[in-house]
Chain A
Amino acid sequence: MTVMDPRDVFHQEARELLDQLEEALLDLGTSSDDRDLVDCAFRALHTIKGSGAMFGFDEVAGFVHEFETAFDRVRKGSVAVSPPLVQVALAAKDHIARLIAEPGLHAADGETILKKLRAIVSSDEDSGRSDSFAPADAQASAAEPSRVQSPLQTWRVKFRLAENALVLGANPVLLLNELRELGPCEVSVAVDAVPPLESIDSEVCYLDWEVVVSTDRPRQAIDDVFIFIADGMELSIETLAGTVAESPRDDKAATTKAVDVDKPRDSTGAGAKGGTSVRVAAERLDELMDRVGELVIAQARLSQLAVASDDGNLKNVAEEMERLASSLRDTTMGIRMVPIGSLFGRFRRLVHDLSHDLDKEVDFVTAGEDTELDKTVIERLADPLVHLIRNSIDHGLEVPSRRIAAGKAARGQVRLSAVHTGSEVAISIVDDGAGLDADRIRAKAEEAGLIAPDAKLADHDLFQMVFHPGFSTAKEITALSGRGVGMDVVKRTIEGLRGRIDLGSRPSGGTTVTLRLPLTLAIIEGMLVRVGQGRYSIPLSAVEECVELPRDAEAGNSGRNFLNIRGHLVPFLRLRELFKTRTAIEPHQKVVIVSAGESRVGLVVDQVIGNSQTVIKSLSKLHADVENFSGATILGDGTVALILDVAHLVSFGQEFESRLRDERIGRAA
């Protein structure tokens, strides 16, 4: 097992706590009297302070301590949460993040933030600076017995444990051992207090101990032996050569420390995420997924053997295996799936800051937070989404005066939503801003030489220009050029995830960007089909239905490349042609109707073999240029089958359809 460095764990944990803090602060911005949120913010701060101090982030601990102290009046409810307070608290959160990321560089900035905070929380009162937080070494001296030498002295130590001491975990043997470590001991025990057998409570220690110890250590060392159990015990310590006055034990002495903070917080789980969780390195999840994949393949082979066999027992075992393997697969896959809400939460701060910086009022609405996607996909989506949201607010939404002039509400809206559609997840960023300016995009594209000046382009095609790398080189920073900055990077990232990006816009009606991403599960349910001698797997989630290819379409090249599916024309692709299959055309061909997004296409195959679990393996670099396939899988008999890339085939089919239509229109004209 690989063990992470606790400091790395601290970094990760601090990030999560800071996220939690930020979330609570942003929520406080809208519901300022929610005590649970205040408590949640405080607990996050407090944990950062504690672990920060443990791992040597003294600046962090010191700053958080000051911050907590100043913020204390908010927690006690004597100061109300206000927007400026949230603002400065957010600044403090950022400061903490910087202190952690780059220790020693930012210490000075903290005072400015604290000053602001103090000004807000104590307008009428002295800001009441606390004693400073010193990550002192003054740890309980018990923990690190001081090595101060004194002249050798002999002590008589008499003690009797409190009645409940044994129950509470005290152990006289350990105490005696500790005394022995101080120097040579003579131990005697008095049993006078032991009651008659019948009234003995086995959990009470009735013994009186007397230890004579000679040591060169100071008396404090002996006191420290009893540091934790002094309450309620009888203890006397005296020197044999002249007695030292016995002083009442005071456990303060043992734990004195420069920390003097607020009252204890008996905070319960308010605002905290429920459920126990375990941190696992992503690679180990991948490894697990690989093993499960192999298991599923082996199980498929077993099932095949069982089907061919007459052995009833074998059949039973195979069925049992199939059930187990499939549930193991689901569980494993589930582990990798994370609700996208974890990502959405991060953008609230972005929107808050942009709204503040740009002086635009923005309602940020999210929906579909529960939609689950593979963890890796979610991580890689973060940057593109930041980019798109920034664009929407910066360049999409108009300033309030222009919005009012256009008859809109002064507050703009940016809506981020996620929804499952078939085998995909669609993530939309919708703003109600000015929309894309087709004329200006055209002008820009012409200027950049991306289109000919007289080219006729539908708006949809024109909008695609913003994804062109050349488009973003525009020097002029305008509302329009901003749309182009880095959009090519966004597109590349999405395509790298085997996804697509759609852009829609209406003048003055706002812009909609939709990202369509495959679930990219490592294992899918597949429909196995045959084309010529090759077998191919189609992700079952993309399959809508299977129909017979009408007799008159069988011959091919009949000019009829559409099927009428309940009144809708669906284009179809002959996979034999696409794959250049050399075998003779077979009768009774089938059409598998698949969909991606709102579009459908039919795939003509020679035979539908059946459904099977499909473990997706990606193709090597050597096949990076091969279209139509998203990966490959190993079938029950050990052979390899390619997995069809439905999204690619559908868009290919749609192009094919529109080309055909254009030709027809051309012929008709």
Chain B
Amino acid sequence: MSKSVLVVDDSASIRQMVSLTLSGAGYATLEAIDGEDGYAKATANPIRAVVTDLNMPRMNGIEFIRKFRAHPSSTGVPIIFLTTESDEDMKRQAKEAGATAWMVKPFKQDQLLAVIKKVAGP
């Protein structure tokens, strides 16, 4: 069974856009609607990489990254976060929490693929 890229975003449109882009490039994907959902799915499924939004209800992206990194199954799993701001503080927090890479919204599909390929392999 192939491992999935977990897409965590409260915005259905972005979630779908990311998933379609990834699955179009041959990645298996899995979707979660917020940090809590993301954590549950990340720890229950074989995950190849995570793409997560930061600003989400219930559990935001930073908490999610922190919590997932505390779980043994996150070892070696790259986490890419999406952010609307170039706010250094936000990015620093996410990196400290254990994120691997980031994308600034808006991004194009090929940019997303480039980053995924970079951190998770083709």
Contacts and interface: CB of A to CB of B under 8 A. Distances in A.
B25 interface: no
23 contacts: A7-B13, A50-B14, A50-B106, A54-B13, A54-B14, A139-B103, A140-B103, A140-B115, A143-B111, A144-B110, A171-B78, A178-B118, A251-B91, A257-B104, A264-B55, A264-B85, A265-B55, A268-B59, A269-B57, A269-B59, A276-B33, A276-B37, A277-B33
A560 B62 CA distance: 78
Which of B57, B95, B108 is most buried by chain A, counting CB atoms within 10 A of its CB?
B57
B106 A252 contact: no
A228 B102 contact: yes
Nearest to A55: B13
A395 interface: no
A171 B90 contact: no
Contacts of B57: 43, 267-272
Nearest to A165: B100
Contacts of A251: 91
- The B interface is mostly helix, strand or loop, or mixed, namely mixed
A256 B86 contact: yes
Given A169-B100, A231-B95, A51 B121 contact: no
Contact of A9 (B12, B75, B77, B105): B12
A51 B11 contact: yes
B43 interface: no
Contacts of A266: 60, 62-63
B104 A259 contact: yes
B118 A12 contact: no
Interface of B: 10-14, 16-17, 20, 33-34, 37, 49, 53-55, 57-60, 62-63, 69, 74-79, 82, 84-91, 93, 95, 98-108, 110-112, 114-115, 118-121
Interface string A500-530: 0000000000000000000000000000000
A9 B11 CA distance: 9
A315 interface: no
B64 to A, nearest CB: 12
A100 to B, nearest CB: 12
Interface in A168-196: 168-171, 173-174, 178
B99 to A, nearest CB: 8
Contacts of B87: 260-264
A54 B106 contact: yes
Contacts of B20: 3, 6
A405 interface: no
Contact of B86 (A13, A257, A269): A257
Contacts of B106: 50, 53-54, 61, 135
B105 A54 contact: yes
The 3 lowest CB-CB distance pairs between A and B, nearest first, are: A169-B78, A272-B57, A10-B13
B110 to A, nearest CB: 7
A336 B20 CA distance: 27
Contact of A6 (B13, B77, B103, B119): B13
A6 B84 contact: no
A132 interface: no
Given A51-B13, A264-B93, A167 B55 contact: no
A4 interface: yes
B6 to A, nearest CB: 12
Contact of B17 (A55, A252, A265): A55
A7 B90 CA distance: 28
Given A13-B13, A135-B106, A257-B86, A228 B76 contact: no
Contacts of B55: 43, 46-47, 50, 264-265, 267
Which of A145, A167, A228, A277 is most buried by chain B, counting CB atoms within 10 A of its CB?
A228
B89 A263 contact: yes
B101 to A, nearest CB: 4
Given A50-B84, A269-B57, A255 B121 contact: no
A169 B114 contact: no
Nearest to B48: A169
Contact of A47 (B11, B58, B100): B11
A566 interface: no
Interface string A103-145: 0000000000000000000000000000000010101101111
Given A168-B79, A263-B90, 15 more contacts: A13-B13, A139-B104, A143-B110, A167-B74, A168-B98, A169-B77, A169-B119, A170-B119, A228-B119, A259-B86, A260-B85, A261-B85, A262-B85, A265-B55, A266-B63
Interface string A615-627: 0000000000000
Contacts of A12: 12
Contacts of A53: 84, 105-106
Interface string A11-50: 0110000000000000000000000000000010011011
A470 B76 CA distance: 74
A231 B89 CA distance: 15
B85 to A, nearest CB: 5
Interface string A145-181: 1000000000000000000001111110110001000
Given A169-B49, A169-B77, A252 B103 contact: no
A277 B33 CA distance: 8
A9 B118 contact: no
A249 B44 CA distance: 37
A203 interface: yes
B114 A279 contact: no
Contact of B75 (A3, A167, A252, A279): A167
A170 B101 CA distance: 9
A610 interface: no
B114 A142 contact: yes
A274 interface: yes
A588 B74 CA distance: 75
B13 A174 contact: no
Contacts of A270: 57
B86 A144 contact: no
Contacts of A227: 101
Nearest to A145: B114
Contacts of B86: 255-257, 259-260
B58 A268 contact: yes
B58 A269 contact: yes
Contacts of B115: 140, 142-143
Contact of B58 (A139, A144, A229, A272): A272
B84 A259 contact: yes
Contact of B16 (A6, A171, A259): A6
A30 B55 CA distance: 27
